[in-house]
Structure 1
Amino acid sequence: MARTRADDFEDKQRHILIQAASVFAEQGMEKASMSAIATASGVSKSLLYHYYPNKDALIFEIIRSHLEDLDRDIEKADQPDLDTENRLKHLVRAVLENYKDADDLHKVQLNAGPLLSDEQKSEITALERRIVRRFSTILKEINPNLENPEKPLLMPVTMSLFGMMNWVYMWFRDGGPVTRENYADLATQLILEGAKSVK
């Protein structure tokens, strides 16, 4: 008989993912053991294996769920009725708000590429492209010249924006003189001024 799913299955899964990301961020993905993750999560090793058959599956699920949460938050924040500049600002704010308290999840996403299977990489890449496309579509509306086939700059500009967002965890501290919203607006303005000036 198949084992029935507990009512708190998803809550336990999420707790394990958060704790596992913390262990991976502290110890590195090669050194971190399933035993250490089970201890940090407050579950038995057998229960951990019930949720995730191996470390690779756990790493993949951390990244997949993190990106799906991010994509969902961006979709909720999108307001197509706004002018493009304010629409972009809302999306950037959504990304940086999503990244709050998610530094460990983000580090796993940025560093786990070599540990994923080709199939896993393909699924993660599809999620990443969908997220990037939400931004590149708006930037193209702001300046159609970015997609000039003789000088295709839409992707470089879009990824420059992601560079500003994705590496914010390296220096940003909540409670400092600049809020997440302040920085979101600054990053948006820098990209907008640069994107609009491209010929």
Structure 2
Amino acid sequence: MARTIAKDHDHKRTQILTSAAKVFAEQGFDRASMTQLARECGISKANIYHYYDSKDAVLFGVLDTYLCELRDRVCSVDVTGLVPDQRLRRIVSEILLAYQGADNEHQVQISAMSALPEPQQALLRGYQRELVHLVSDALAAVASDEIAQDPAKLRATTMSVFGMLNWYYMWNSGTGPEAREGYAEMVADLTMNGIKGQ
């Protein structure tokens, strides 16, 4: 007879991933142990192994969940009826708001994704590429022809925007929505005032 799924299965899975992100971010993925993870979760190692068969599987679970949800949230933002300037502002703001509360996951993405097998990394990079394409398309709509029609310059501009957003995450992680929206507005202004004049 097949084992039934516990009623709190999804809750426990989320608890494990949240705790794992904290442990991996603070200890480093290589140094973190399943014992530390179990202690942070407040459950037994055996219980963790019921959900994930290895530390690598937990790492993939953390990043797959985080990046997929980030991609879904930002790419589904409603920009219907917005002019290009407004569209860029809305997308940039949504990215920064989506980063809120995900400091550990973001750190694990930066420091530990390379520990995963290449096929899993490729899947995760696919989520990232969708976000990059969304921002790139929004930038192309407001940029001068020199940038919009030059793939290398458009990519450099796109990654510069992500660089500014990630800088904010690194140094202002505890801020709330109002401060994040204000900084997103500044990023949009700096970017548009620069690329329109190039």
Common topology (TM > 0.5): yes
**Percent of aligned positions that are identical:** 37
Shift of 1:78: 3.3
1:174·1:180 contact (CA, 8 Å) conserved in 2? no
- Structure 2, unpaired ranges of 5+: none
- Structure 1, unpaired ranges of 5+: none
Residue-by-residue CA offset, 1:111-151 (whole Å, 9 max, x unaligned):
113201011111011111011111111111112432434x7
User: What's the secondary structure of 1:7's corresponding residue?
Assistant: coil
Q: Look up the equivalent residue of 1:163 and give its one-letter code.
A: G
Count of aligned residue pairs for this structure pair: 196
Residue-by-residue CA offset, 1:82-120 (whole Å, 9 max, x unaligned):
011111111111111111111001000111132010111
Distance 1:132 1:12 in 2: 32
**1:78-157 correspondence runs (5 A):** 78-143=78-143, 144-149=145-150, 152-157=152-157
Pair 1:192-2:189 in alignment:
no
**1:26-105 correspondence runs (5 A):** 26-105=26-105
Shift of 1:173: 4.8
Distance 1:6 1:173 in 2: 35
1:8 — aligned with what? 8
Normalising to structure 2: TM-score of the pair?
Answer: 0.92
Please provide the CA RMSD for this pair: 1.8
**1:53–1:110 Cα change, 3 Å:** same
